[in-house]
């Protein structure tokens, strides 16, 4: 029996946008084992965030650039849980709209990145062109393309006027056929399908054992979606989680694509729910007690736990990000695959190292 060859992939690798390291054990071209090493991006955010709870609502967005709004929404919900207040309906609906917009931008980034990893630069640019429509829209609504800074404890900061509501509806109408075209390409393009089908399979049991969440779990047949809990305005709209059974790269990609299209449905439903009313309520006093909240970020369940001790400073703020649960599951997907598929499989879980390391 020959000893397997061990080679490192990363932390600097052209296929990865962020530093992660995989120690691969190879027999010829086949991967027989994989060990993940993380921690290249650790910034000690959890400590920095606990210094001043009022400033945290802005800083918490900096944990991750692609799901920034979900982080601030989760943090604000946690604080609202501590204060034991219910934010106005209009604020909830606008939060939901922003979260779904961000899901579209995040998934399109992941899809574009998947295409680029396969050398399909053309499709990558197409994804980013459609993504720009959504990016522009969130810029117009919130004032920034990435860090919306729209959630505050007790509601939202910037309201949408009637013109902006119409504009959002128009952009969604414009975006839908473009995304349907993209879906067509991802679903039926020969090269793509051959490259992704039956590659990096994560079976249902493995998905459960590795505690995966979000699109990775749903692509392996685990119907878990935190949006069904009905935080923000999700209990008022008709949510249908996208679930597939194959568990391969193709399924993960298609789940993301279908979720983008479903997000458009959800945004259109939310726009109908927008009634006149306040968007923010005043919150008095420093928080005391413990709070917990979960939201469904683009990558899956995002959990915040805050312990407040009645001052500006928080005792502890604990963030469990979805990528922290999803990224290790590549160790189950990689064995058995070919070396050339390693970047594709890793990218197909949509690894966000900023989130994972915090």
Sheet containing 30-37: order of strands:
5-9, 21-27, 30-37
Quote the CA–CA distance of 114 and 306 in Å, as a whole number.
35
Among left, alpha and beta (phi > 0; psi -120 to 50; other), residue 277 is left
Bond before 11 cis per omega within 30 degrees: yes
Q: Which of residues 57-116 bind other proteins (CB under 8 A)?
A: 58-59, 62
Nearer Cβ to other proteins (183/338): 183
Nearer Cβ to other proteins (62/244): 62
Q: How far is the CB of 165 from other proteins (least distance, A)?
A: 14
Q: Is 313 in the site for other proteins (CB under 8 A)?
A: no
Neighbour-count burial of 286, counting CB atoms closer than 10 A to its CB (0-12 exposed, 13-18 middle, 19+ buried) = middle
3-class SS at 232? Answer: coil
| φ/ψ of residue 314, rounded to 5 | -95, 150
Q: Is 284 in the site for other proteins (CB under 8 A)?
A: no
Of 4-12, 50-58, 73-81, 253-261, the window that binds other proteins (rule: CB under 8 A) is: 50-58
H-run or E-run covering 110: helix 89-117
Nearer Cβ to other proteins (136/166): 136
- Which residue shows structure tokens 């204060």? 83
Identified binder of other proteins from the candidate list 21, 41, 149, 203, rule CB under 8 A: 149
3-class SS at 338? Answer: strand
Q: Is 132 in the site for other proteins (CB under 8 A)?
A: yes
Of 124-132, 214-222, 282-290, 346-354, the window that binds other proteins (rule: CB under 8 A) is: 124-132
Q: Is 262 in the site for other proteins (CB under 8 A)?
A: no
Name the token pair of 56. Answer: 């945290």
CB 259 within 8 A of CB 215: yes
Q: Is 147 in the site for other proteins (CB under 8 A)?
A: yes
Nearer Cβ to other proteins (132/209): 132
Nearer Cβ to other proteins (159/228): 159
Name the token pair of 234. Answer: 């999700």
Q: Is 244 in the site for other proteins (CB under 8 A)?
A: no
CB 324 within 8 A of CB 351: no
Q: How far is the CB of 283 from other proteins (least distance, A)?
A: 14
Identified binder of other proteins from the candidate list 15, 17, 85, 185, rule CB under 8 A: 185
Q: Is 139 in the site for other proteins (CB under 8 A)?
A: yes
Number of residues that bind other proteins (CB under 8 A): 29
CA angle 56, 276, 61 (to 5 degrees): 15
Q: What does the binding site for other proteins look like in residue numbers (CB under 8 A)? A: 52, 54-56, 58-59, 62, 122-123, 126, 129, 132, 136, 139-144, 147, 149, 157-158, 181, 184-185, 188-190
């Amino acid at each position: 029996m020959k000893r397997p060859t061990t080679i490192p992939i990363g932390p600097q690798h052209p296929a990865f946008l962020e530093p992660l390291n995989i120690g691969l054990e190879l027999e010829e071209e086949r991967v027989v084992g994989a060990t993940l090493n993380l921690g290249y991006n650790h910034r000690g955010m959890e400590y920095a965030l606990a210094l001043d709870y009022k400033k945290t609502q802005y800083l918490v967005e900096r944990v991750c650039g692609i799901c920034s709004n979900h982080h601030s929404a989760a943090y604000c919900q946690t604080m609202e849980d501590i204060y034991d207040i219910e934010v106005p309906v209009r604020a909830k609906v606008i939060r939901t709209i922003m979260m779904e917009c961000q899901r579209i931008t995040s998934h399109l980034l992941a899809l574009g990145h998947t295409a680029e990893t396969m050398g399909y630069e053309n499709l990558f640019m197409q994804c980013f062109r459609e993504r720009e429509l959504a990016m522009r829209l969130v810029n117009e609504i919130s004032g920034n393309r990435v860090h919306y800074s729209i959630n505050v404890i007790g509601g939202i900061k910037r309201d949408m006027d009637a013109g902006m509501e119409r504009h959002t509806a128009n952009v969604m109408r414009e975006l839908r056929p473009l995304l349907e075209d993209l879906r067509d390409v991802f679903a039926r393009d020969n090269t793509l399908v051959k490259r992704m089908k039956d590659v990096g399979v994560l079976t249902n049991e493995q998905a459960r054992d590795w505690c995966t969440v979000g699109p990775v779990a749903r692509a392996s047949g685990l119907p878990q979606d935190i949006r069904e809990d009905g935080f923000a305005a999700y209990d008022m709209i008709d949510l249908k989680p996208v679930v597939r059974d194959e568990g391969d790269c193709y399924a993960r990609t298609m789940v993301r694509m279908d979720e983008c299209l479903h997000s458009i449905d959800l945004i259109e439903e939310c726009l109908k729910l927008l009634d006149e009313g306040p968007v923010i309520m005043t919150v008095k006093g420093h928080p005391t007690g413990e709070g917990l909240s979960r939201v469904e970020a683009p990558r899956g369940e995002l959990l915040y736990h805050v312990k407040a001790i009645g001052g500006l400073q928080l005792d502890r703020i604990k963030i469990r990000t979805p990528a922290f649960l999803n990224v290790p599951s590549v160790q189950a997907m990689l064995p058995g695959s070919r070396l050339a598929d390693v970047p594709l499989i890793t990218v197909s879980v949509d690894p966000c190292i900023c989130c994972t390391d915090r």
